[in-house]
Each structure stands twice: as C-alpha cells, then as structure tokens.
Structure 1
Amino acid sequence: MAQSMSSPPPALAARGSQGIILKETSGSRLESTISGSECRVMEFSSDGCQLAWCDGKSVTVMDVPSGAVKYTISKPKTRCIQFSPLGSYLALWEPYAVTKDVPAGTPNLHVYNSSGELVTEYIQKKQQGWCPQWTEDEQVCARNVTNEVHCFSGGAPGLTCDNKLQIAGLTTYALSRGKLPYKIVVYVPGSKGAPCFVRMFAYPNLNASAIMASRSFYKSDTVSFSWNKKGSAVLVTTTTEVDKTGASYYGEQGLHYVSARGESNMVQLSKKGPIYDVDWNPNSEEFCVVYGFMPAKATIFNCKCDPVYDFGTGHRNMAKYNPHGNILCLAGFGNLRGNIDLWDRESLKPIKKLEASDSTQFEWCPDGVHFVTATTAPRLRVGNGYKVWHFCGTLVQCEDTPPKQELWEVKWRPFPAGTFPTPSTSSTAPPTTIEQPVQQEKKAAYRPPALRGKPYTYKLHEEEPPQRVGAAEEKEKDKLSKSAQKNKKKRESKLKSKEQEQVVITRGSKRGAEKDDALALAAQILRGNKDKVVDPVGSGKSDSEKKLKNLRKKLTQIEQLKQQQAEGKQLETNQIEKIKTEQSILEEIEKLTLS
C-alpha cells in the first residue's frame, strides 16, 4: 500500500562506535540492536524485512518489523555480508587464511538459507567480486571461477554448476538486473598488443558463437559494470592504473555503452579528465555522467549515447537519481565543499541549492522525497553525524555523534518497489523546528591595493552555464526544409573555397613584388649606380625587362666569383672567362636601362 507524501520517511540504521541504532527520522528511537562497539559490517535485505550484522563474535540476523532475532551464525571474522534479491540466501565472506595444518586454506565464502542452514561454501581469496550474483527472481545464480563463470539454476549455488561460460583470461562479470531473458556480460583484458574486449551473452546460450554484443578497446586495466534497471544495456567504465600522458595521477578512464540489441558505442565526453560518477535513470532510458578536471561537467545521455542536457561545469563529483527518476542530485563531497544541486528531470529546472559541509556519504530515501548526508569516520573523525533533508531544502533531522564517538555508516531501510508514490516536484516542504544551517559567506580573493575597486579582467576557471545540447541547431533545422539545408551547405562551401583562393593569390602577388624589388636593388648597389634604380613592379614584364633581369643575375654571380678569387680560391677556366665578361655586361645593362 502506497504511503502518503505527508508520512514520515522510513527508518534508517546508523552504525558506529556505539553500535547499531535503528531510528526514525522523527527522532524517536525504535530499538538499539547492538550495544557493542565492534560492529564491522551491517546489511539490509532488499525488502527491508531483515537486518544482518557482525559484532566480532557472531553474525546476527534480525526480523526488522518485529525486532526479533531470527538466527545467529558463529562467524566472528566476517567482513562482508550480502542478501540475495528476495532474501532467500545470505552470503558471508571472511579473509582468506592458511595454516600449517591446512596449507591449502579453508573455505571463507559461505552461503546460508533463510533458516540459517549452510547451503554451500567455497574458497574465495580476493575480496573484490567475492559475492555470487543472482537474478532479481533468484532463478539463476552465477559465480566467477578462474577463466569461467559458473551458473546455477534454481538460485541455490552448489558444488556442481548447470552451465559454464568459458573464456580464456576472463576476470570480471556482471549478471543483468532485469528478468527474462537473463544476460551476462564479461570482460577480458588485452595481452601482447591485443585489445581488451567485453562480450554479452544470453543465458543459457553461453557458447562463443552465441554472442549478443561485443565491444573492444585499448587502455584498460580494470572495468566496472553498471546495468540499467531493465537489463537491456550496460555501461562499462574502463580504468588504467597509469596515465601515460601524465595528465592525471590516478590513471585514465573511459566509458563505453553495450546494448542487448547488439549495439556498442563509446560515450564521447566533451571534457578531458577522470570520470567521477555514472548513474542510470530508473526508467532505463538515460544516464548521467560527471567527468572532467575540476570544475567538472555533468551531462545526461540517451541510449544512443547522444548528449541530451549539459549542466555546465561546477565543483561536483556525484550524480544520483531518486528512486522514481524525476529528481536528479548533483553534489560534490569528500574533498569538495559539499554543494548540492537538485534538478527537476522533467522540466530540467533547478529545484534547490544546498550545502552540506564535510559530508562523505549521500543516499536517497526509498520514498524519493528525502535524502541523508553524513560525515563518517575514518575519512573524518571530528564532527561525525548525519542530516536528513527534504528535497525542497528543509532539514528534517540532525543527529550529532557524541564526543569521543565515531559514526561509520548510515543506511536507509529499503522497501519493495511501488511502496511509495512518485513525488511531485512542485510540492512544498513540510514545516520544521530544526534550526537551518547558516550559509557562510564566501571570502573574497585577495587583490592588491592598486586593483581594488576595479573590474576583474580574467577568471581562473570559466564555468559553463547549463544548456540543452543542440537546441539552437535543432530550431534552425526545423525552420528550413531538407532541400534548403542542402543548398545552404553548398553556398557556404563555395564561398569558403573562393575566400581561400583569394588569400592564396593575394599572398603570391605580394611575395613576387617584394622579391623583384630586392633583386633590382641588389643589382644597382653592386653596380655602384644608385641614381638609376629601376622599379620592376608592374602589370607585366617585356622582353627587355626579362633580359635585364638575367644580366643582373650574371653580374651578381661575377661579383661572388671575384670575392672568392680575392680570398685565394683557385677558380676554374670557365669561371675566369666569366669574370672577363663583366664590362660587356655592364655596358649592355646601361643600354637597356636608358632605353
């Protein structure tokens, strides 16, 4: 049953040095679930009915509505917990270790059913990609083994798999989130000059000849997959450990799009730099990317990888759609100031600008109306706490962690899809008695006394305003017919070619005139007759002018030979004879000049 917009948001769990506390956002404490201070990990089931945590002694699973403990598992070293989509299975991972008695190591990945009974266990050395993956209906479970992906039907992983996907060098895989047909995407890094590639398969056809889509690329050491909600497309973020161009200390990144229809493209980003965040809209028809050196850009792309809307530049490193997809949050956390920009996705108009300083965590509430920002350890050990906000800018709840205590994690209690209605972005925020944080005035940059009171002539970072991509071009194209657009292009190209030809002709004539002037002046100086300088620039050259030019050229050569002879160089016979013709050449030049 859908809840009304005026109802309070769901409860959230805060894990810290004082334990795990399940609280309502109205401020009343529901139940203190753990009193110890060694709660290393906690996890909700996808429907929010179960909560599991490890306190260093055992793993406890609680029924959230009743508050009763369902079962406990004696696994004190557990570091990771994950429920299957329907909550039927619980996967636990603890660090891999070997002993003298068992040099091969003992299984450290355990899977239990909803009653706490062990289903199966494996050896999983690496923490990255440790958890088996299920489809949303839990009909298929997949697990990564060396060069293989083992698939189990029925949702219960076992010792023998029903189907295998075998590719040499396979390192990473991801199971689609949607329902039938189930899809698996795998990544194989390149070696010996061969490119890396990503391939998509439809379960149960996992043969090499049954590839649905493929994408190859270079510059990739690791990848991360991001499926859309329908399971019809996946985004592949590639990362290299070292940027060979030296532009970034953290390596180089790229973004690729692979569709179940066989389409694959590279997402063209208009600014160089790292990719901070990628988020799909829950409607599976678009995605938002935050990228580029600071100030970073944020752009919405459609499923053709064409930019739809450019939010300009700003100090941000995160993009998150609310669960209904009608509100987009752009924020800058971590080493950034904590600015939060909320946008209406339908109208692409800003809703509210906030500032949550020193925030390290952000999460949308399942109702799509509220969100939480938190300052957590170990990133920041001072000023820990969390705040619950309404998207209109109202601060609903503010919880500060007591002195000498730390907050490690904050999580909303999940609810099944369809529990909450789609919020209206035109609704007003409810009244609140909590004092709103005062926005501190930004300190002006220092300016020398001589420049104070004068306008700025430059900016360190010129920020770009938001704009709809290609809006002006689309309007102009709509006004003109196809034939008119074609004729316009022809006229523009013809005019451009004429302008280029004119520039070439002008430059050529200018160079020719300057060259002739220099040659004429040099010949007259060599003769020693400065009174009779001939201007060779004219509309055309007669035969006498051409002959005069050749004679001057010979005279220049004779002067060079005479200089070489004076320096002691032995000349050839023909060169000596050429020097003897100097007087006759001078007389002929004089006659042609007088005529």
Structure 2
Amino acid sequence: ITLLFFQSYTCRYSFRGSDGTFLLRGPPKCEENADFPRFVPDDQNIIYAAFSKDGTFFAWCNGEKVTVVNVADGSQVRLFDLPKTAMLEFSPLNTVLATWQVYSKTQDNPQGDPNLQLWDLKTGSCLKALYQKKVQGWCPSWSDDEKIAVRSVNNELHFFENNDFNTIANKLHLQKVSEFVLSPGSQPSKVAVYVPGSKGAPSFVRLYQYPNFAGPTSALANKSFFKADRVNLLWNKKATAVLVTASTEVDKTGASYYGEQTLHYLATNGETSLVQLQKNGPIYDVAWSPSSTEFCVVYGFMPAKATVYNLKCDPVFDFGTGPRNAVYYSPQGHILILAGFGNLRGQMEVWDVKKWKQVSKPQAPDSTHFAWCPDGEHVVTSTCAPRLRVSNGYKIWHYTGTVLYKQDIPAGTELWETVWQPFPDGTFPERPVKYQAAPSELGSTEAKPAQAYRPPALRNKPVTASSKLHEEEPPQNMRPGAAGDKQLSKTALKNQKKREAKKAAKQEMNPDVPEPQSNPSQANSTPTEPSSGDPETDKKIKNVKKVKNVGY
C-alpha cells in the first residue's frame, strides 16, 4: 500500500509494498521526512487501510488487530482485537468506525456470528453488531452531518438517526431494490434507489427526500428504462441531480464486446432525460464537475469521444476523438484530465476548463491507478499489483506534464496501493492555470504526434481520407456563438471533409490538370445536350455515352 499524505498544507506521502512502508515529503520537492513518525511498522502485512474523510485519522487491519492512529503525530487512538477484519471505514465526522469480516457459519453455529461491527471511536465500545453477508454495499451510508445513516436489508432501506443503530427510525420498502446512494451534503438528505425490471417490466430509478416515503407521489423524480442488468448512480456535489449509467452484460446486436450502455439524468425538481450521445459504442466513464453544473462523458468506439454537457443535457464542449477511457476533474474543478489507461497506452490530455484550452499531453504507460492531489496542482499515477505484478512503481506529476518524482519498486517486490491523504473542501484554493511546464530534473513525457504507417509507394504523396485508419474529429466549442463563427453540424462537417478528400484525390491523379475555374455568370446555368427531336432516341444516345465514359 502506498499512502500519500498532506500535513499543514505541505504534501507528505508514503508508499508500502511487500518490502515495507516508507514515508516521504513532497511535492514539489520529494524527500524522506525523518521527523514524521513511521506509524506503520514495516513488518506488518496490511490487509486493508483507510483514511478518515477529513484525513485526521488513519486505520489499518493486519490479520491480527485493527489500529487507529492520529495522522498529525502518529499517536495511537484505538486498538481493536479483530483478527478476521477485511475492511473498515470511518463515518464522516469520525464518530464511528465500521469493520467488516467475511461471513461464515459452522455446524455448531448454523446462523453464524454478526460480521459487521460499528465502534464508538471515543469510548472504544461496540455500538451495534449486525449481519452483512455480501461485501457489496457492506458499509452503512451516512449524511455528512451524521444525522442519518442508511443500509439495505432484505429489499428495504433502514434509516437510523444520530448514530442510534438500536432503533430503526424509518424504512423505505421497494420490491427487489438492489442499489441505493445517499446524497452528499447536509440536510435535507435525499436517496437515489434502483429497482431492476422483471417479467417484462422496465427497471426504474427514483429519488426520495428523507423522510417523505409514503404514497406513490412522494418520489422527487422517477425514470424507467429497459436494457439494464446493473446501474451506477452518481450524485453531483450539490445533491441536485443524479446521473445513471445503465449497462447490459451482452449487446444483443453484437456491436460491442462490452455490452450496451445508456446514460440517464434525474434532477430533484422532477426533470428527467436520456443523454443523447453523439457516437455509438460503450460508455467508459462519467464524471460531475465540482461546480455541479456540468458533467463529462467519455464514450463511443475507439477512438472515443469526450463531451461536456450542461444540466439540460445539451453539449457544451466536444473534445473530439482520441485514445481515452477515463475522465478526472481536479478537486477545484478548474482542470480536466482525459486519459487512456488499461489496454490503452496511458496518454493524458490536460485541459483548462474555463478557456477550453489544452495545457499538456503527457504519457503514463502501464498505469493502473490515477488520483488528483487535494491541492489541484499534482497527480499520481501508479502501477500496482495484482493488476500488474511487474514494473511496479509510481510517479508524482505536475499537471503541466513534468514528472517531479519517480519511484520504481525493485524486482521481486510489489506495490499494492496508492492513496492521497484527504482534506476538507476549501482547504486548497483554486490557482490560475499555468501553461509553462513546471521545472523538474526528470523532464516531461509529452507525447509526440503519432504517424500512421504508410507504404513506401504513398510516403511522398499527400495524405487523403482513404489513407487514414480513423476519421479524427477536432475539439469543438458547442456553446452558441462561442467561437464567433457559425459552427457546422456533424453532417455538414462530414460532407465538407468528403468534398475536400475527393478534391485532393482528383489532384493527386491529375497533378498537371488545373482546377476548373467557376464563372459566376454560368454558376446557375445547366449544360444542354443537342436533341434529335425524338425523346426515346435522345435517351438511347445518353445511355450509350454513359457506357462509353465508364470505359466499356
């Protein structure tokens, strides 16, 4: 596990793998920090670790105990004897620590023991022990002020108030409810729920405001749709709208190996919409802007498109096409990064969101993890096991494309995870976007323009549309009147490219023949053929000339 820390507005981070844990200080200058306590012993095999929401506490389980420490000085806060713990998480205000272990039962104990414990961090006492068989959605969801907590139990959502888990304050019953997401922020809390369709009935997502659950008209918004084996629910930061990515395992048309995806929009004012994407293919990633007024979608068969939409689901800016499958907004929302990780080559595109101008285009090949630093100035890319067990390591970047620090893990050892220490919103203010590369001894990995392979016979000839593997689309500002010129529609732009390609091909075939000059006086005139006086005879003569021109 690699842990990246901030302390007093200065970045501190550590990395932990199979050979131990090391704490460092940076960026921009990365060096080992001897004064900062090494509170995670190197000989401990951490199974799972997590920061508190504000970065004050850090906890880990090692197969023997669960340890909670204070990040500021490394002092131990709590120690729990829980040898089978596999996961843990803090409540938003650090009041409760939730721990989970794999559910098991024996012949002597056919019911099994409760495997979800909720601990009071101040006293160390167990508030409640519950049964939670599935690892998916194991942890209760809290509102940011901890006045409400909710968990799913047998097609019901159980709501608890003020961390009193002995009393169910309210219930929301929906048949076969499988997904729910509690809204961020404070009161009034809202919840988005998903119910999959069955027996020909459509699936649906509904938005409710706590505690108004009674009656069929109590839902704030309702959106039903077919073709949904699973969904991903994503609230914006202000809790005013939800994006729903509905996916099917198999595309029955056979067009996509990844199944079929659709994107839906629901707002708390009752508005719903299907987001109309401008290219066929899978939806790779969706992200809300921290401003909650726009969202970005990466979609379509490769090379994929990326488009920013407003709250009316109208396109605002189109980034064109490129090798990308992920999108990341900076914590302040002023910078957006499009990236192509996984089976792509790790190309990143850094954009200034306010000016819609590209800042840099670095490459981070073989990356399995990406994360923004809370300061909105730096990012980390890492290659971790078990996704890749060779060439493990990580890099700290400035968004202008320069590598500030690079750590390669020795052969035979592994890097397991990289995590920035979180900070409360507003800790780091937005800074003006820089276009000049930040100074660094490691330099930049700016991607060079890739040249498509061309046979020797075509290398000295002009490039035509027929010689391109893909039809590339440039970025386009789609706000009305944004560029000052009239924006061409997609069809008009495509027809214009075809005309230009046909013109270039004609010139290539006959380079010595000058282009015909158009005469304005004859622009609207139509050339006439001499007539024999008999329409049937004229028709036969015309057909003979057509055959002759073809070359028969």
TM-score normalised by the chain length of structure 1:
0.76
| Mapped pair 1:283 → 2:291 | yes
Deviation at 1:208, TM superposition (A): 3.3
What CA distance in whole angstroms lies between the structure 1 residues aligned with 2:360 and 2:12? 24
| Mapped pair 1:166 → 2:158 | no
Aligned equivalent of 2:367: 359
What CA distance in whole angstroms lies between the structure 1 residues aligned with 2:323 and 2:436? 27
| Mapped pair 1:385 → 2:393 | yes
Residues 30-429 of structure 1 mapped to structure 2, 5 A cutoff: 30-32=36-38, 33-36=40-43, 38-115=45-122, 116-154=124-162, 156-209=163-216, 210-426=218-434
What CA distance in whole angstroms lies between the structure 1 residues aligned with 2:396 and 2:539? 82
Aligned equivalent of 2:32: 28
Aligned equivalent of 2:469: 460
Aligned equivalent of 1:12: 13
SS of the residue corresponding to residue 457 of structure 2 reads helix
Deviation at 1:243, TM superposition (A): 1.1
Deviations along 1:436-494, one digit per CA (max 9) or x if unpaired, are: 2556867855544433433343211122110012546996899xxxxxxxxxxxxxxxx
Residue identity opposite 2:120 in structure 1: N
Deviations along 1:198-217, one digit per CA (max 9) or x if unpaired, are: 11111111123311110000
SS of the residue corresponding to residue 137 of structure 2 reads coil
Deviations along 1:299-344, one digit per CA (max 9) or x if unpaired, are: 1111111110000111011111111011111111111111111111
The worse-fitting range, judged by mean Cα deviation, of 330-339 and 74-83 is 74-83
Q: Is the 8 A contact 1:15 1:39 kept in 2?
A: no
Deviations along 1:95-119, one digit per CA (max 9) or x if unpaired, are: 2212111112221111112133211
What CA distance in whole angstroms lies between the structure 2 residues aligned with 1:129 and 1:515? 81
Deviation at 1:19, TM superposition (A): 3.6
Aligned equivalent of 1:484: none
Q: Is the 8 A contact 2:103 2:133 kept in 1?
A: yes
Q: In the superposition, relative to structure 1, how do residues 97 and 302 fare at CA in structure 2: closer, same or farther (>3 Å)? A: same
Deviations along 1:494-542, one digit per CA (max 9) or x if unpaired, are: xxxxxxxxxxxxxxxxxx9669999xxxxxxxxxxxxxxxxxxxxxxxx
Deviation at 1:22, TM superposition (A): 3.7
What CA distance in whole angstroms lies between the structure 1 residues aligned with 2:310 and 2:88? 35
Q: Structure 1: give runs of 5+ residues left out of the alignment.
A: 1-6, 479-511, 519-595
Q: In the superposition, relative to structure 1, how do residues 428 and 62 fare at CA in structure 2: closer, same or farther (>3 Å)? A: farther
Deviation at 1:257, TM superposition (A): 0.8
Q: In the superposition, relative to structure 1, how do residues 211 and 403 fare at CA in structure 2: closer, same or farther (>3 Å)? A: same
Q: In the superposition, relative to structure 1, how do residues 56 and 285 fare at CA in structure 2: closer, same or farther (>3 Å)? A: same
What CA distance in whole angstroms lies between the structure 1 residues aligned with 2:485 and 2:343? 43
SS of the residue corresponding to residue 11 of structure 1 reads strand
Instruction: Name which one, 1 or 2, has greater alpha-carbon Rg.
Output: 1
Deviation at 1:58, TM superposition (A): 1.5
Deviations along 1:2-26, one digit per CA (max 9) or x if unpaired, are: xxxxx97522343321344443222
Q: Is the 8 A contact 1:13 1:413 kept in 2?
A: no
SS of the residue corresponding to residue 211 of structure 1 reads coil
Deviations along 1:393-434, one digit per CA (max 9) or x if unpaired, are: 2322111212211111111111111211211103755533x3
Q: CA RMSD in A?
A: 2.5
Q: In the superposition, relative to structure 1, how do residues 21 and 159 fare at CA in structure 2: closer, same or farther (>3 Å)? A: farther
Q: In the superposition, relative to structure 1, how do residues 202 and 440 fare at CA in structure 2: closer, same or farther (>3 Å)? A: closer
The worse-fitting range, judged by mean Cα deviation, of 244-253 and 197-206 is 244-253
SS of the residue corresponding to residue 417 of structure 2 reads strand
What CA distance in whole angstroms lies between the structure 1 residues aligned with 2:195 and 2:280? 26
Q: In the superposition, relative to structure 1, how do residues 267 and 275 fare at CA in structure 2: closer, same or farther (>3 Å)? A: same
Aligned equivalent of 2:531: none
Deviation at 1:81, TM superposition (A): 1.7
Deviation at 1:51, TM superposition (A): 0.6
Q: Is the 8 A contact 1:16 1:37 kept in 2?
A: no
What CA distance in whole angstroms lies between the structure 2 residues aligned with 1:117 and 1:423? 44
Deviations along 1:222-275, one digit per CA (max 9) or x if unpaired, are: 111111111111111111111111112221111111111111111111111111
Q: Is the 8 A contact 1:213 1:264 kept in 2?
A: yes
SS of the residue corresponding to residue 433 of structure 2 reads coil
Q: In the superposition, relative to structure 1, how do residues 271 and 143 fare at CA in structure 2: closer, same or farther (>3 Å)? A: same
Q: Is the 8 A contact 1:201 1:213 kept in 2?
A: yes
Residue identity opposite 2:68 in structure 1: V
Aligned equivalent of 1:435: 442
Q: In the superposition, relative to structure 1, how do residues 440 and 369 fare at CA in structure 2: closer, same or farther (>3 Å)? A: closer
What CA distance in whole angstroms lies between the structure 2 residues aligned with 1:347 and 1:440? 22
What CA distance in whole angstroms lies between the structure 2 residues aligned with 1:308 and 1:168? 38
The worse-fitting range, judged by mean Cα deviation, of 265-274 and 423-432 is 423-432
Q: Is the 8 A contact 2:98 2:117 kept in 1?
A: yes
Q: In the superposition, relative to structure 1, how do residues 264 and 134 fare at CA in structure 2: closer, same or farther (>3 Å)? A: same
Q: Is the 8 A contact 1:321 1:328 kept in 2?
A: yes
Q: Is the 8 A contact 2:363 2:445 kept in 1?
A: no
Q: Is the 8 A contact 2:400 2:434 kept in 1?
A: no
